[in-house]
Amino acid sequence: MALDIKKIGIIGVGQMGKGIAHVCAVAGFDVVLTDTNADVLKSALAGIEKDMNRLVKHDKLSDADIKGALKKISTSKDYKGFKDCQLVIEAAIEDEQVKKQIFKDLCEDIGPDTIIATNTSSISITRLGAQTDRPGKFVGMHFMNPVPRMDLVEMIRGIATDEDTYKTVRELATKLGKSPVNAEDFPAFIVNRILLPMINEAIYTLYEGVGSVLAIDTAMKLGTRHPMGPLELADFIGLDTCLAVMHVLHDGLADTKYRPCPLLVKYVEAGWLGRKSGKGFYDYAGDEPVPTR
């Protein structure tokens, strides 16, 4: 029987966790957030409020909506605060070992019926689900960035995911105003299987000197009508996430066409992760982003 979802726990309050909390609270669900970084957790509500206020400017939310939604969100320093959640959505960093440890710890503190969804961009739902005590109640729920503005949610069943779980979470995506699309459990699913190799190729194009950052982004915007250039988009996604997805594609599909560009590796090693660290293919210190090559 489909579970009646009222309260949703969210693990990881980075750009995705914040966005997921935002849409869940606006849709009327109670939300509880946790993150290993205490500073991130402390500033989470202020960050979500700032994002909500941007939507007021576009007449998508009223001040009263925001007030009501923010009241629905609380934080917890550990998973004990998740014990009365019917659903937990994991949105921590794209690292398989980190996610596996999260699921092991989480299962000790939540009820046996609680569904676990992961927002992973690329990692096998079957493999992650196998780390839990409930692979039948484990599912992939892949939101797009920025969550409040993007309509798609990719829905992915692991081999063991039961139909009630899949249906419950798919219905929830609809209640959040999103359009769910089914993807099978192969590395990086649909969107990132197509998008990330394109971004990686754009980085090779830069690495080989075919064009500058600005030339590549301008060419792709004007030449293919993409709203953002691929390097600008890579910075927006986070270069650490881009690299992690390329590793999953390369390892999972064993094809050299997915090898991560050495320049992407170098940027991540330098801590140049894109917008979230203030520098990637662009430097975000000033009013306007400035290309770093």
- Smallest distance from the beta carbon of 25 to ligand NAD, in angstroms? 17
- Catalytic residue flag (residue 154): yes
154, 200, 232, 247: which is the annotated catalytic residue? 154
- Catalytic residue flag (residue 121): yes
94, 96, 119, 121: which is the annotated catalytic residue? 121
Amino acid at 204: Y
Provide CB contacts within 8 A for 35, sequence distance 6+: 11, 12, 13, 14, 17, 41, 44, 92
Cβ proximity to ligand NAD, 143 vs 258, nearer residue: 143
Cβ proximity to ligand NAD, 61 vs 147, nearer residue: 147
Amino acid at 12: G
- Smallest distance from the beta carbon of 190 to ligand NAD, in angstroms? 12
- Smallest distance from the beta carbon of 62 to ligand NAD, in angstroms? 27
Read off the tokens for 17: 């966790």
Q: Which stretches of the chain bind ligand NAD, using CB under 6 A?
A: 11-17, 35-37, 40, 91-94, 98, 102, 119-121, 142-145, 237-238, 241, 276
- Catalytic residue flag (residue 182): no
Cβ proximity to ligand NAD, 3 vs 155, nearer residue: 155
Cβ proximity to ligand NAD, 33 vs 66, nearer residue: 33
Read off the tokens for 160: 């063991």
Amino acid at 149: R
192, 200, 232, 247: which is the annotated catalytic residue? 192
94, 122, 142, 200: which is the annotated catalytic residue? 142
Cβ proximity to ligand NAD, 3 vs 116, nearer residue: 116
- Catalytic residue flag (residue 43): no
Which position's Cβ is nearest ligand NAD? 14
DSSP the chain: ------EEEEE--SHHHHHHHHHHHHTT-EEEEE-S-HHHHHHHHHHHHHHHHHHHHTTSS-HHHHHHHHHTEEE-SSGGGGTT-SEEEE---S-HHHHHHHHHHHHHHS-TT-EEEE--SSS-HHHHHTTSS-GGGEEEEEE-SSTTT--EEEEEE-TT--HHHHHHHHHHHHHTT-EEEEE-SSTTTTHHHHHHHHHHHHHHHHHTTSS-HHHHHHHHHHHH--SS-HHHHHHHH-HHHHHHHHHHHHHHH--GGGPPPHHHHHHHHTT--BGGGTBSSEE-SSSS-EE--
Cβ proximity to ligand NAD, 28 vs 177, nearer residue: 177
- Smallest distance from the beta carbon of 150 to ligand NAD, in angstroms? 9
- Smallest distance from the beta carbon of 68 to ligand NAD, in angstroms? 25
Q: What is the set of active-site residues?
A: 121, 142, 154, 192
